Copies of this chain bind each other. A is one copy, B any other.
Amino acid sequence: MRLSQFHLATVKEVPAEAELVSHKLMLRAGMIRKLAAGLYTWSPLGLRVLRKVETVVREEMDRAGAIEMLMPTIQPRELWEETGRWEKFGGQLLKIADRKAQEFCYAPTAEEVITDFARQELKSYKQLPVNFYQIQTKFRDEIRPRFGVMRAREFLMKDAYSFHLGQESLAQTYQAMYDAYGRIFTRLGLKFRAVQADTGAIGGNASHEFQVIAESGEDAIAFSDGSDYAANVEKAEALAPTVARPAPSIPLVRVDTPRQKTIDDVSAFLKVSPQQCVKTLLLKGREGLVALCLRGDHEINEVKAGKLAELPGESVLASEEEILAAVGARPGSLGPVGLPDHIPVIVDRSAAVLADFVCGGNLDGTHYTGANWERDARVTRIEDIRQVVAGDPSPDGRGTLQLARGIEVGHVFQLGAKYAEALNATVLDDQGKAQVMLMGCYGIGVSRIVAAAIEQRHDDAGIRWPEAMAPWRVAVCMINPKGLPEVTAAAEALYAQLAERGIEVVFDDRGLRPGSMFADMELIGIPHRVVVSERGVAAGTLEYRARDEADSRQLGIDELFALLA
């Protein structure tokens, strides 16, 4: 592509409306333009990148045996009523009435329509398993659309749905999709993790999120440095310490700790490490208050705590008044020693192996030293209720955990019979008996990947595309202020030779000053830049610079081809 024949419209100013780096850079590079809240036009430059992602997704879905089709974006209310989601989906469902007052929605997902398709098309177990997918525009009427295409209302999604007779078949396709997703993000050149996800309200089957690693990510994830283990931090198990609890060696002593309320305060004041302290939280339980005890350097994991039988499914701290009334002390001085008998004491596995620890004195301005479980403090039960931290052993026994932030770009899910049951989607089994099908669903946020990649790969000058996502792999920049025919000829020849080799190349023939041209190519993230200039033509070399390298170097043309091969 010659840039003179393309529409490139980069912007110098940092757009005020954008918070995320990816949003800023996509606007500055002219990849997208806002039409209305959460609605973006993809410019020619932006679309080139979007299509790269789409193509990789399609190729790997096909390779994994999924079959592409296309469902309407506008879907009738009746089908969504059959699953109860017309109401349950909530405000994100964009509802529409046509000229005859028939009601429809703009599909945010397509379980209803594909299951309706399947119940009409699939009659026999012989047609199973089958895995249908589409790459189609979706709409979610976000209350607060923001972050550009990261959380847009209209977006491009790949959604796949598989149908099975039996869990084993579902598990196989699930694994095939899991593997395909791995290939997709690997081919796209992104650092990612497949993390175990909480299956939440839908129920107990397997689910993995694919997270692109980026500091700005909304999700915290934990992964092992010694295995493939990765999980959303909400779900990552903190293993029980392998050491046994030492026997008590010192007496319990109450000490004055005036105005020392946090673990940091107390550990500094008493000159003990936070790891030797126990912090105690009082939560509102199903029946009265519940005490949770954690090691001083650990934080509570609210998802894990929410699953305790004593708690009502969520973690709500008791108020200062409630705590004062029950214990006689304020939150900064709580501890497990001498808590009233009606308060269950749930102790985290890591806190449970401490001996001779420091904890609150249940009397304002005091703490205990030399506290010990059983001897001094009651233990109702030992549980895993904390967030994992970097350095924890991996739950699969291999390696230690590291923490990172991630952007969810894919999700695979074993749905089971939920939708097929609601829509009565059955096939005849080999005995001629109607059986409800099992389903899996597998989503990828195609447009979101573009933003996620930028979050992961950028610097002060702009985007650093991985090769597979770059709008073009190579930029040929011509510097020819004197209009020398030999320079033009050399640039044209290089452009033609690269194109002939099937290398995607953009020829910057706009005649800009070198500074502007280079700034553009860096901003839009072209991985390889080659400059053709009077000096280079005279010397018979090309000035090459990789987007990821600080300096340029002189290459012969064969070296360039070898480098790009």
Which A positions have Cβ atoms within 8 angstroms of B? 5-7, 9, 30, 33, 35-37, 39-44, 46-47, 50, 65, 67-76, 91, 94, 96, 98-99, 102, 104, 106, 113, 116-117, 120-121, 127, 130, 132, 137, 139, 141, 143, 153-154
**CB-defined contacts of A91 to chain B, threshold 8 Å:** 99
- Is B7 within 8 A of A127, CB to CB? yes
A141 touches B44 (CB 8 A): no
A96 engages B94 (CB within 8 Å): yes
Contact (A44, B69) CB under 8 Å given A7-B121, A9-B121, A33-B121: yes
21 A–B contacts, CB within 8 A, in A order:
A5-B65, A6-B67, A7-B127, A33-B117, A33-B120, A33-B121, A35-B76, A36-B76, A41-B69, A41-B117, A42-B69, A43-B121, A47-B69, A50-B70, A73-B73, A73-B137, A74-B94, A94-B98, A94-B99, A98-B153, A99-B141
Q: In the complex, given contacts A43-B121, A99-B143, what are 17 additional A-B residue pairs having Cβ atoms less than 8 angstroms apart? A: A5-B65, A7-B130, A7-B132, A33-B117, A33-B120, A35-B76, A35-B116, A36-B76, A36-B102, A41-B113, A44-B67, A44-B68, A72-B154, A74-B94, A74-B139, A94-B98, A98-B153
Most buried by B among A5, A76, A98, A120: A98
- Chain B contacts for A69, CB-based, 8 A: 41-44, 46-47
CB neighbours of A121 from chain B (8 A): 7, 9, 30, 33, 43
Bound-complex Cα distance A445 to B386 (A): 58
Residues of B within 8 A of A113 (CB): 35, 41
A42 near B67 with CB under 8 A, answer no
Complex contacts, A65 vs chain B, CB 8 Å: 5
**A41, A67, A73, A94: most-surrounded residue (chain B CB, <10 A):** A41
Contacts of A41 in B (CB 8 A): 69-72, 113, 117
Contacts of A72 in B (CB 8 A): 35, 39-41, 154
Inter-chain contacts of A42 with B (CB < 8 A) = 69-71
A539–B127 alpha-carbon span in the complex (Å):
35
Q: How far is the CB of A82 from chain B (nearest CB, A)?
A: 13
Looking at the assembled complex, report how far the CB atom of A440 sits from the nearest CB atom of chain B, in whole angstroms: 16
Residues of chain B contacted by A98 (CB below 8 angstroms): 94, 141, 153
In the complex the two chains form, what is the Cα distance from A69 to B51 in whole Å? 10
A127, B113: Cα distance in complex, Å: 44
Per the bound structure, the CA–CA distance linking A72 and B37 in Å amounts to 12
In the bound assembly, the distance between CA atoms of A7 and B46 in angstroms comes to 34
Q: Which of A6, A36, A50 has the most CB of B within 10 A?
A: A36
**A9 → chain B closest CB, angstroms:** 5
* B127 near A35: Cβ-Cβ < 8 Å: no
Q: How far is the CB of A518 from chain B (nearest CB, A)?
A: 21
A34: min CB distance to chain B, Å? 10
Complex CA gap A120/B43 in Å reads 12
Min CB distance A196 to B, Å, is: 30
| Top 8 A-B pairs, shortest CB-CB distance | A42-B70, A36-B76, A39-B72, A44-B67, A91-B99, A72-B154, A44-B69, A9-B121
Residues from chain B with Cβ under 8 Å of A43 in the complex: 69, 117, 121
Alpha-carbon gap, A7 to B30, bound state (A): 41
- Residues of chain B contacted by A139 (CB below 8 angstroms): 74
Tell me, rounded to whole Å, the shortest Cβ–Cβ distance linking A61 to chain B. Answer: 12
Closest to A39 in B: B72
Chain B residues near A143 (CB-CB < 8 A): 99
CB-CB < 8 A to A154: which residues of B? 72-74
A71-B35 in contact (CB<8A): yes
